[in-house]
Amino acid sequence: MQYKDQQQHTNNKNTMIESTVLGKKVEYPQHYAPEVLVAVPRQINRKQYNIDDKNLPFLGVDTWHAYEIGFLTENGLPVVGILKMTYGANTPNIVESKSLKLYLNSFNMERYGTTAAEGYSILTDIITEDISKCIDGELEVCIFSPNEKPVPSAMTDYQLLEEQPFAKNLKITHFTEAPEILHSNGKQGYMAVMTHLLRSNCRVTHQPDWGTAYIYMNGQQLPTEESLLEYLISIRGENHFHEEICEMIYMRLWEIFKPDELMVACIYTRRGGIDICPSRSNRIELLPMGLTSAPLLTSKLLRQ
């Protein structure tokens, strides 16, 4: 399929998604409503980057935190919590975030368990079953009480690119993705860098999404920090879902620099009570364990 045909196919799929709940005024369901969940096939976007679902060039996890989870106990006492769910990048689908928000809020007036802990357990099982059907794969779900003490994030020791001396002299001219501006520094070794300047837009609604990108690379050649920051800023005008942005960055770095080790994580700001934090790597041990493990509630990072 030629690129133009791929784009038309993507646009047609986007229209189908938009015709459900995304970008539309929708009444919140008053009772449990699994039917509102919308599955988005990953392959819609992956085709343009030559990513084969059956032979992925990376491992990865999509991590979601939902801060608007609540229900009633059997005697009518409201219970709130924080939901964390994780599923692999190898699932055929992702769940569309607005539909997930509607779905989670459909529990608000339902009654589960005689205690908060019992309700958490019941709700965890229900959500796990429903979303696993939506994404057509396995996932892990945990619900934490408001008193849960988070563990420190492992996303440390990354150099902040925009605070480096070179940043103030950059002349930024690209605001749509421009991989051609990535240049090698001619050196082998490793780099661990981050930027809070990640910004992209929802693929369908074009609403802005803010985030922090974390990148670890080890190999025979590395990008210059200047060109890498310019490239990450160039994503500012792109219209993709969070998972797609992470995979786009990964694929560009993987194809251009052919590193021995590569990890990309995109920590996005919550919208509608939900944050989405995808991570991709060629080695499982490079994935940030605290972020990708559902039973661990980690301290929120700046963009969350």
pLDDT single digits (tens) 6-29:
444 444 444 444 445 655 667 889
Length of the chain counted residue by residue = 304
Active site residues: 202, 209
Q: What's the pLDDT at 253?
A: 98
CB 36 within 8 A of CB 106: yes
Q: What's the pLDDT at 240?
A: 94
Cα–Cα distance for residue pair 78/116, rounded to 1 Å:
9
Summary mean pLDDT of the chain: 92
Q: Which residues contact 243 (CB under 8 A, 6 or more apart)?
A: 42, 62, 89, 94, 276, 278
Q: What's the pLDDT at 17?
A: 47
Q: Residues 224-265: pLDDT tens digits?
A: 999 999 999 999 999 999 999 999 999 999 999 999 999 999
Q: Residues 104-127: pLDDT tens digits?
A: 999 999 999 999 999 999 999 999
Higher pLDDT, 22 or 80: 80
Quick check: 165 pLDDT over 50? Answer: yes
Q: What's the pLDDT at 169?
A: 94
3-state secondary structure of 116: helix
CB 83 within 8 A of CB 131: no
